[in-house]
């Protein structure tokens, strides 16, 4: 592929590598791209179209929804439900899996998505994004069940995210590396701008919410303490810290220049009876697929995220991902 190739042409060329491809996958990714363009346009307009602020409602996790959480979810549902490319949908914003309308044709894919990751940042004009994961639907007749969605990340056929920042960027993997596409607003298309992204194995940058330091487990405290000691400490180099509170923005930075992102297990999370902070199906699995395809690593601190068998569609897990050598070190500290 050459720089400037449209997302549509890229998908068509990619499908030619798969025997028996019907074009359905191309259609699905185009549906996702259309939804992301609509969300990008609204995020770009902000207060001009009254989409900022809270929606006076809560999602299934009990979190206050922003207006754009609700709007983005509706946009994704509308874009994917009626074109015959999906058999079922699951959204971070909805309690249960989403059934297709009775009159809608059924496709051969399942899509799970976080319609607006980092939405708490939208009111202060900081980058937010959409995350999606695609699975093959089970061959049995009828509508998919919740169990059909509960498959490990290794079974994803594609994953990606769309970053709404100074420019709108789509990052996509179909299991053959990671490519970035930038939205040309005048042309109305996502164009290939970075291909075969590779994350450096080493880094001098970490991202973690330091306000939770007093709740961290010993392995995380040890790792961060060693980073903060800089050149004089056991790591022998100075580290910088970053924290955006938007997983899409954090992962995008890591893909661009390396780094490690951590939302680990801590005592506060344990006290709430949760398995972690981030959602396995909507955030951790798709981001892990992208990171691993770019040469990085992604674990809970104790096990590879994509090997986990989900227990329910809103399951939460700890996440440690990014430059391989740093993730391996944090994981080794947990195992020891």
Going by the annotation, the residues of the binding site for Mg(2+) are: 92, 114, 116-117, 283
* Binding-site positions for substrate: 117-120, 209, 277
Q: How many secondary structure helices (H) and strands (E) does the chain include? A: 9, 16
**Rounded CA separation 117/245 (Å):** 9
H-type alpha helices, 3-122: 7-15, 24-45, 67-81
* Binding-site positions: 92, 114, 116-120, 209, 277, 283
Give the single-character DSSP code of 74: H
Q: Do 316 and 160 form a contact (C-beta atoms < 8 A)?
A: no
CA dihedral 179, 30, 145, 292 (to 10 degrees): 0
H-type alpha helices, the chain: 7-15, 24-45, 67-81, 146-149, 218-228, 247-257, 267-271, 285-293, 324-335
Q: Which residue has the tokens 């951590």?
A: 262
Nearest 5°: the CA angle 282, 321, 195 is: 85
CA dihedral 203, 269, 221, 303 (to 10 degrees): -60
Structure tokens at 260: 């490690």
Task: Convert 56-75 to b/e letters by CB count within 10 Å (16 or more is b).
Answer: eeebeeeeebbbbbbbbbeb
């Amino acid at each position: 592929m050459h720089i400037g190739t449209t997302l549509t042409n890229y998908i068509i060329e990619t499908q030619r590598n798969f025997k028996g491809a019907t074009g359905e996958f191309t259609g699905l990714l185009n549906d996702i791209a259309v939804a992301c363009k609509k969300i990008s346009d609204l995020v770009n307009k902000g207060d001009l179209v009254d989409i900022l602020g809270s929606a006076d409602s809560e999602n299934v996790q009990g979190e206050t929804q922003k207006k754009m959480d609700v709007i983005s979810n509706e946009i994704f549902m509308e874009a994917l439900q009626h074109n015959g490319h999906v058999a079922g949908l699951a959204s971070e914003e909805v309690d249960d899996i989403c059934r297709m309308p009775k009159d809608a044709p059924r496709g051969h894919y399942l899509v799970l998505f976080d319609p607006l990751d980092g939405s708490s940042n939208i009111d202060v004009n900081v980058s937010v994004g959409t995350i999606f994961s695609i699975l093959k639907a089970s061959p049995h007749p009828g509508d998919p069940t919740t169990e059909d969605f509960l498959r490990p990340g290794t079974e994803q056929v594609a994953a990606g995210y769309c970053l709404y920042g100074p420019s709108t960027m789509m990052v996509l993997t179909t299991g053959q590396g990671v490519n970035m596409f930038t939205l040309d607003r005048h042309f109305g298309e996502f164009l290939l701008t970075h291909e075969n992204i590779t994350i450096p194995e080493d880094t001098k940058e970490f991202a973690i919410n330091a306000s939770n330091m007093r709740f961290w487990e010993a392995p995380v405290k040890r790792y961060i303490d060693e980073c903060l000691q800089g050149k004089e400490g056991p790591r022998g180099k100075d580290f910088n810290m970053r924290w955006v509170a938007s997983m899409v923005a954090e992962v995008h930075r890591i893909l661009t220049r390396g780094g490690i992102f951590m939302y680990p297990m801590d005592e506060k999370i344990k006290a709430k009876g949760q398995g972690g902070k981030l959602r396995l199906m909507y955030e951790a699995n798709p981001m892990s697929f992208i990171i691993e395809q770019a040469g990085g690593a992604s674990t809970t601190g104790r096990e590879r995220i994509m090997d986990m068998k989900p227990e329910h569609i809103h399951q939460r897990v700890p996440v440690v991902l990014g430059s391989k050598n740093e993730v391996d070190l944090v994981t080794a500290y947990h195992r020891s």
